[in-house]
Structure 1
Amino acid sequence: MCKKIVLLLVLATVLSPMGMAQEQAQNIDVIVMVDITWSLYESFQDIEQYLLGTLLNEVLHPGDTFHLIRFSDHTQVEITEVNLGSQTISSIRGKIAGLKNLRWQYGHYTDLLGAVGYLVKFTEERPASNKKVVILVTDGIHDPAPGTPVPENALALKEAFLKQAEQFKRPGWELHILRIPGKAPDSGAGTTQGSEETPFFEAFNKDFQNSVTDYTADKDRELLAQTAGLVQVIFPENVGEVGKEFDIPVKIANNSDIDVTLRLEKAISAGSDILISPGEIRVNRKSTADFAVPVRLPDSIAEGPGSLDVRLEASGAERILSLEGKIGLVYVPGKPYGLPLWFKSLPVFILIGLALIALLLLLFFFLRSRGISFSPLKLFRPGGAGKDYSFKTKQKYLYANGHHSYAIEMIVGMQNRQIGLRNVHRIPKNKSLIVGGGRSSFLIFLVPVPGNMAAIGYDGNKFTFTPRKREFFPELKGPISNCLGKKIIVKSKKGYVFDLTFEHYISPLDKINAIFHAVKSKTASGS
Structure 2
Amino acid sequence: MRARAILAALVLVAWPTSAPAAADPEPTALYDALDLKERPADYIVLLDTSGTMSSQQTAVKQQLKGLLKAKGKQDSVTLVRFDRRPYHRSALETDADIDGLPTPVGEYTDIGRALEWVVRYLREHPSRLAAVMLVSDGIQEPAPGSPYGSANGPAWDRLRDQAAGLKPQPLLYTFPFGGADVRRHQDEIVERVFPANAQILDPRQSQATKDLSMVKDDSLRAEARRRVAADLKRGVAATWKQPDVRLDLARGTGSLTLDVRSQTEVLPLELRAVEVEVSDGKERVTGRSALPAPIRIEPGRTVPVPIELSWAEPSAIRVQPVALDLSRTVRVRATVQTPWEGDLGLLGLSYGKQQIGTDAARVTGSYRGAPSWWAAAAAVVLVAALIVLLLWWRRARRRRPPKMTGVLLSAYVKDAEDAWDEHTLGPVHLGGRRSVRTAELAPELDLPGGSVKGTVDVRAAADGITITYAPEGLPGRSDTATCPLGRRVMINGVEFIYRTTSED
- Relative to the length of structure 1, the TM-score reads 0.32
Q: Determine which structure has greater relative contact order: mean sequence separation of CA pairs < 8 Å that are 6+ residues apart, divided by chain length.
A: 2
Larger radius of gyration: 2
Query: TM-score, with normalisation over the residues of structure 2?
Result: 0.34
